[in-house]
């Protein structure tokens, strides 16, 4: 049974306004341009009809901005309390809304985007992903898990998920099923058969709840608990036997994803959007062209990019030309892919300035290469990139603070820089600020 079902229509109070937390469609988050509603597509996959419905919903119920998240989901921005019921109705008709908010918040699952068609993938995750979603939807004991508690199902193959963080990781191990690992320990794992994934997830989730406790200093994520007591006591509490097994460290890059790619007899077309945001009209045009070229679906990834699947060679080549004309990115050496940037103000109530305009100006000044080396953040929260980055620019009331090899809230090397000063600095000293040995592969 799918975790996605039409939302119950029983009368009840309107969803409350929420700030500063992980949003959903049923419990959106308020920000500067209205409410953000996150749509969690099962397995990160949309039919083309569902994708078209989302584009129309973003225009009818929001401000037309669609964000690609790092959790393989979509954000619709600019929704209001007035348009929220319409959005819920549209998502219900498209099969993209949960039965209740508690199921929605627990369904934080990232699944390998190509497991069923990648000839190098070790497992087809269809049944396992469905079993995990069903257990999260039906096991009342798991309702006590923190809202951001998350799971990864990694089939490995051409787009492995080693760089994507999660509290509980199920990593394909060939015919033996999965290695089950906990955040905070990469060397100890339990074994799990494909049909046992729901039970293993439930046991570990309940073990986390019991061991973390409920005090003010209780760990809120698995990594914090493992750092406090180790992974072995968690496995023991769950009744799972663990043994030394190192998890895979092989991660995908945008160079592995973007552009037209052959997967046996199938072809996919990978594309990204600058700073992870899509204008709904362009998205609708892309879906129309995908339909015309014989595609059968769209797959979201945790790298703020997506894949159009079900193409033949001619269709993939035609789609590559089409998506470029629509302003999407299909080349891994595109300068804007070197920069992570949130919307900033006024779209975000915390942002001090509209930082994406500056990010677009800074991108061409960075050294050529691949991978993010500049993070431009509207405030010290650093939502666009929680990881340390070679250069971080944090907007303040007086300009940008410059942080080297750190995060948005870290102590800066320089304060109050203007955009013009930063441009001059990047032109004059980019090679020093981003030394070759720090460039991502």
pLDDT in tens, the chain (441 residues): 333 443 433 333 344 344 445 789 999 999 999 999 999 999 999 999 999 999 999 999 999 999 999 999 999 999 999 999 999 999 999 999 998 999 999 999 999 999 999 999 999 999 999 999 999 999 999 999 998 999 999 999 999 999 999 999 999 997 779 999 999 999 999 999 999 999 999 999 999 999 999 888 999 999 999 999 999 999 999 999 999 998 999 999 999 999 999 998 899 999 999 999 999 999 999 999 999 999 999 999 999 999 999 999 999 999 999 999 999 999 999 999 999 999 999 999 999 999 999 999 999 999 888 889 999 999 999 999 988 999 999 999 999 999 999 999 999 999 999 999 999 999 887 777 765 444 443
* CA torsion through residues 52, 57, 59, 60, sign: positive
User: How far is Cα 335 from Cα 362, in angstroms, rounded to an integer?
Assistant: 9
Q: Which of 10, 96, 89 is nearest to 45 (CA)?
A: 96
Contacts of 113 (CB under 8 A, 6+ apart): 44, 45, 72, 159, 299, 300, 301, 307
Would you kindly state where each structural domain of the chain is located, as residue ranges?
122-155+164-244, 254-276+295-335, 337-435
Q: Give the strand order in the sheet containing 277-279.
A: 29-31, 34-39, 74-79, 65-68, 277-279
Beta strands 151-154; 374-377: pairing state:
unpaired
The tokens 């799990």 sit on which residue? 192
Question: What residues form DSSP beta bridges with 31?
Answer: 34
Q: Can you spell out the DSSP letters for 48-83?
A: HHHHHHHHHHHHHHS-SEEEEPTTS-EEEEEE-TTT
Q: Which of 433, 385, 427, 373 is nearest to 410 (CA)?
A: 385
Q: Can you spell out the DSSP letters for 223-259?
A: HHHHHHH-HHHHHHHHT--EEE-PPP--B--GGGTSE
Size of the chain, expressed as the number of residues it contains: 441
| Helix-helix angle 197-212:222-229, to 10 degrees | 60
User: How far is Cα 350 from Cα 111, in angstroms, rounded to an integer?
Assistant: 31
Count of CB atoms situated within 10 Å of the CB of 194: 18
CA dihedral of 270, 272, 283, 59, whole degrees rounded to 10 = 150
Beta strands 109-111; 151-154: pairing state:
parallel
Strand (E) or helix (H) holding 45 = strand 45-46
User: How far is Cα 88 from Cα 341, in angstroms, rounded to an integer?
Assistant: 29
Alpha helices in 309-440 (DSSP H): 313-325, 355-362, 419-433
Per residue in 139-164, pLDDT (tens digit) is: 999 999 998 999 999 999 999 999 99
CA dihedral of 344, 306, 115, 440, whole degrees rounded to 10 = -60
Q: Which architecture does CATH list for 337-435?
A: 2-Layer Sandwich (3.30)
Contacts of 119 (CB under 8 A, 6+ apart): 157, 263, 264
The gap between the terminal CA atoms of the chain, to the nearest Å, is 41
């Amino acid at each position: 049974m799918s975790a996605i079902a039409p939302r119950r229509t029983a009368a009840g109070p309107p969803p409350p306004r929420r700030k500063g937390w992980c949003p959903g469609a049923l419990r959106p988050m308020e920000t500067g341009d209205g409410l953000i509603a996150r749509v969690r597509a099962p397995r990160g996959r949309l039919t083309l009809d569902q994708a078209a419905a989302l584009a129309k919903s973003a225009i009818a119920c929001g401000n037309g901005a669609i964000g690609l998240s790092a959790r393989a989901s979509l954000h619709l921005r600019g929704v209001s309390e007035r348009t929220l019921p319409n959005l819920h109705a549209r998502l219900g008709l498209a099969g993209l809304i949960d039965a209740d908010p508690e199921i929605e918040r627990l369904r934080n699952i990232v699944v390998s985007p190509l497991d069923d068609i990648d000839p190098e993938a070790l497992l087809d995750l269809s049944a396992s992903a469905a079993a995990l979603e069903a257990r999260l939807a039906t096991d009342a004991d798991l309702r006590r898990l923190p809202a951001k508690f998350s799971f990864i199902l990694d089939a490995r193959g051409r787009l492995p998920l080693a760089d994507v963080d999660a509290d509980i990781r199920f990593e394909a191990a060939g015919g033996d099923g999965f290695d089950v690992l906990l955040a905070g320990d990469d060397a100890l794992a339990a074994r799990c058969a494909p049909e046992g994934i729901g039970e293993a997830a439930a046991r570990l989730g309940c073990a986390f709840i019991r061991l973390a406790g409920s005090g003010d200093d209780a760990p809120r994520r698995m990594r914090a608990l493992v750092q406090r007591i180790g992974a072995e006591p968690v496995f023991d509490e769950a009744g799972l036997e663990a043994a030394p097994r190192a998890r895979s460290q092989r991660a995908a890059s945008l160079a592995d994803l973007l552009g037209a790619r052959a997967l046996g007899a199938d072809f996919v077309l990978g594309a990204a959007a600058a700073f992870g945001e899509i204008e709904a009209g362009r998205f609708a045009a892309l879906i129309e062209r995908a339909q015309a070229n014989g595609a059968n679906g769209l797959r979201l990834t945790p790298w703020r990019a997506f894949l159009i699947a079900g193409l033949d060679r001619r269709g993939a080549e035609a789609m590559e030309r089409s998506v470029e004309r629509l302003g999407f990115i299909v080349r891994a050496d595109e300068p804007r892919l070197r920069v992570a940037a949130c919307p900033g103000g006024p779209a975000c109530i915390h942002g001090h300035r509209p930082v994406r305009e500056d990010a677009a100006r800074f991108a061409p000044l960075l050294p050529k290469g691949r991978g993010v080396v500049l993070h431009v953040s509207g405030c010290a929260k650093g939502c666009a990139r929680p990881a340390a980055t070679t250069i971080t620019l944090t907007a303040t009331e007086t300009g940008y603070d410059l942080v080297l090899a750190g995060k948005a809230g870290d102590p800066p090397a320089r304060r109050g820089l203007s955009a013009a000063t930063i441009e001059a600095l990047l032109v004059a000293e980019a090679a020093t600020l981003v030394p070759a040995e720090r460039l991502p592969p």
